[in-house]
Structure 1
C-alpha cells in the first residue's frame, strides 16, 4: 500500500471508512466528474437521483486511500480519477446508472477555453439581429453573414468548431448571441465498478433501439438456422414438421406418386399443363376441340370470379356450373392426349 499507509488525521480516516462502507453496501459504484456544474444544478441533480443513487464528494487523495485499502480489482478505479471527482453509489446496474446520469445533463453556453464535445454548427438562415456590429463579429468568428430584408442572415451552414477543438473567445461570444448552447453540463460518468469489472462510459453508452433490433435479428437468424439445419426445439418443431410435410407433398407431386393426399394436386397440375399446351397450340393456329376451348375459357374467367367468391358462398347453380367446367376440362385433357 506504500504511499497510502501513512497515518491519517481522524477526520480523514472517518471519510475513508465512510467510502469503504458505501462500497460494501452498494453493488455498483461510479466515478463521476462534476467540473463546471453550478451549485443550483447540482442540488437539482441530487434531488432527481434521490432513491436511485447517492453522491459522495471527497478529496481525490482520500478516494485513492479508500480504493487501495479495499484492494483487488477496485484499485484500478483510481486511474479514472481526474478533475473534480466524486463517487456515486447505486443498486441499479451500470447501464441504467449511465442512462440516468445522461438525463441529468442540460445544455449551456460555451465558455472560452472549453473543448467542443461535438462539431458546433451554425445553420444558415435569418436571425433576429438588425444590421450593426454583429455582422462583423459573425464574420470574424468564421460565420458568413449578410444583410437581407433589414435583418442579419447567415448565408450558409458553417461548422465553426470541430469536435475536440478549443472554443476561443470570439466564437464563444457569437454562439452565446445566437443562443447556441453546445456544452453538456451534468455528472459525467468516468467509470463504473460492479462484481470485479470496471465499465468504461463508451461501453455503457448503448442505443437501446439498435440493441433491441440486433437481438431481434439474432433471434430470427437463430430460428432460421434451426429450421434449415433441422434442429428440433420447442419453438421450431412445428415449423420444421410443416416444412417437411410441404417438401414431401411437392416431391410426391413431382414424382406423380398417387397417394390420397396428393392425387388432386397431381391431377390439377396436369390440368394446368394441358391448358398451357392448348394455349400454345392455339397461338400456333391449331384448331382446338370445343371441350378444350370451353376449359380454356373457364380458366381465363376463373381469376375474375375468385374475388367475389371469397366474399360470399357460391349459389348451387354456380357450384354445378363449376363441376361441369371441371368435367369438360377433364374431357378436353382426354381429347388432347388421345
Structure 2
C-alpha cells in the first residue's frame, strides 16, 4: 500500500482542525474565474471570510474526518474546481456577499449565453482593414463609412442558451461587450449541524414574505369555502351569514327592525311606479275627451281609405 505524501496528510489535518473551529464553512466554485478576478474578490472580502483554494479530494477527506455533526453532508458538493470559505458570518450573509461581488467579463469562448447578445448599429473605432472581414465572418453586417467600420443594422449575435464560439467571443471583446457574469459561486454551506444548498440560500426575504402572503390567502379561501371556523375568517363568515339571513327575510317578507328600511324603500318604489302608470292612463283619457271630433274624423278617414282600396281592387278584376 502506497502511503500518501506527508504534505497531504498535514493538509487534511489542518483543514479538519479549521472546519472544527469555524462556526460556518462553505464550499464555493471557482470554475471559469480568472486569477485577476479571483484576487480582486478575495481582496474585497478579506477580514470577513477566509478563502482557500484546494483540491477537492483533500477537502472531502477533511469533511469526513471532522467531528462536527452532519458536516460530512457537504462531501457530495466538494467536486471540481473549488475553494473553502470559513467564517463567523451566517451562510446567507456569505451568499449575499458573494453575489454582490459578481461582475461582467469578456467571453473567451465556450460559455453559455445568459441572455440574447445583441449588436446595435453603430460606428466603431476601427479603420478599414482586416476587422471588417472578422465582423462579416461572425455574422455582423459591417461596412465602411467616413473612414470607419460601421455596423449597419442590429443583429442577435448569440441567442440565450447558445454557446459563445471563440470567434464570436473575440469580436465581442473587440467591441468591448462583456456578456459573461463572473464571480465566486457558493455550492453549499454548513452551520449549526445543517447543510444549506445554494437554492435555499438564494431565497430572498421578499420572496419569503410573498410566498407566506400567498399561502395565507389560499388557506383563508379554503377555510371560507369549507366554513371552517378560525379567527382569521370570522369577519367574512359573519358578513356572509348576515347577507344570507337578510336575503331569506326579504324573500319571506319577514319584517324586523334591521330590514324595515329595505321594505319601506321597496314600498316607495312600487308606489311610485304605480302612480306613474295611473297618471299615464289618466293623461291618455283626457286627451281623447278634449278632441272627440278629431278622433271621429280619423275614424272616418280610416273607413274611407278602406272603401277606396276595395274600389281599386274591383277595377282590377272588372
Instruction: Give the TM-score of the pair, scaled to structure 2.
Output: 0.70
Relative to structure 1, the CA distance from residue 286 to residue 120 in structure 2 (aligned partners, 3 Å threshold; closer, same or farther) is closer
C-alpha contact 2:51 2:84 (8 A) present in aligned 1: yes
C-alpha contact 1:143 1:160 (8 A) present in aligned 2: no
Is residue 281 of structure 2 the alignment partner of residue 287 of structure 1?
Answer: yes
Give the superposition deviation at 1:210: 5.1
Alignment partner, residue 133 of structure 2: 136
The structure number with the bigger radius of gyration is: 2
Alignment partner, residue 156 of structure 1: 154
Give the superposition deviation at 1:63: 1.0
| Structure 2 portions without partners, runs of 5+ | 284-318
Q: How does 1:41-56 map to 2 (within 5 A)?
A: 41-50=37-46, 52-56=48-52
Give the superposition deviation at 1:69: 1.5
Alignment partner, residue 330 of structure 1: none
Alignment partner, residue 189 of structure 1: 186
| Structure 1 portions without partners, runs of 5+ | 290-338
Residue in structure 2 matching 1:167, options 144, 160, 165: 165
C-alpha contact 2:25 2:189 (8 A) present in aligned 1: yes
Give the superposition deviation at 1:94: 4.2
Aligned alpha-carbon RMSD (Å): 3.6
Q: How does 1:1-338 map to 2 (within 5 A)?
A: 9=6, 12-26=8-22, 28-39=24-35, 41-50=37-46, 52-70=48-66, 74-91=71-88, 94-112=91-109, 114-129=110-125, 132-133=128-129, 134-147=131-144, 152-160=150-158, 163=161, 165=163, 167-168=165-166, 170-194=167-191, 198-206=195-203, 209=206, 212-275=209-272, 281=277, 286-287=280-281
Give the superposition deviation at 1:146: 3.8
Alignment partner, residue 332 of structure 1: none
Which structure is richer in relative contact order (CA contacts within 8 A, separation 6 or more)?
2
Give the superposition deviation at 1:107: 0.9
Give the superposition deviation at 1:241: 2.4
C-alpha contact 1:145 1:154 (8 A) present in aligned 2: yes
C-alpha contact 1:141 1:174 (8 A) present in aligned 2: yes
| Regions of 4+ moved over 6 Å | none
Q: Secondary structure at the match of 2:253?
A: coil
Q: 1:283-310: per-residue Cα shift (whole Å, max 9, x none)?
A: xx94379xxxxxxxxxxxxxxxxxxxxx
> Equivalents in 1 of 2:44, 2:266: separation in Å?
71
Q: Secondary structure at the match of 2:231?
A: coil
- Between 1:178-187 and 1:142-151, the stretch displaced more is 142-151
Give the superposition deviation at 1:259: 1.0
Instruction: Give the TM-score of the pair, scaled to structure 1.
Output: 0.67
> Equivalents in 2 of 1:39, 1:130: separation in Å?
30
Aligned residues: 280
- Between 1:98-107 and 1:85-94, the stretch displaced more is 85-94
Give the superposition deviation at 1:64: 2.2
Q: Secondary structure at the match of 1:236?
A: helix
C-alpha contact 2:117 2:179 (8 A) present in aligned 1: no
Q: Secondary structure at the match of 1:88?
A: strand
Relative to structure 1, the CA distance from residue 144 to residue 200 in structure 2 (aligned partners, 3 Å threshold; closer, same or farther) is farther
Relative to structure 1, the CA distance from residue 117 to residue 217 in structure 2 (aligned partners, 3 Å threshold; closer, same or farther) is same
Relative to structure 1, the CA distance from residue 160 to residue 242 in structure 2 (aligned partners, 3 Å threshold; closer, same or farther) is closer
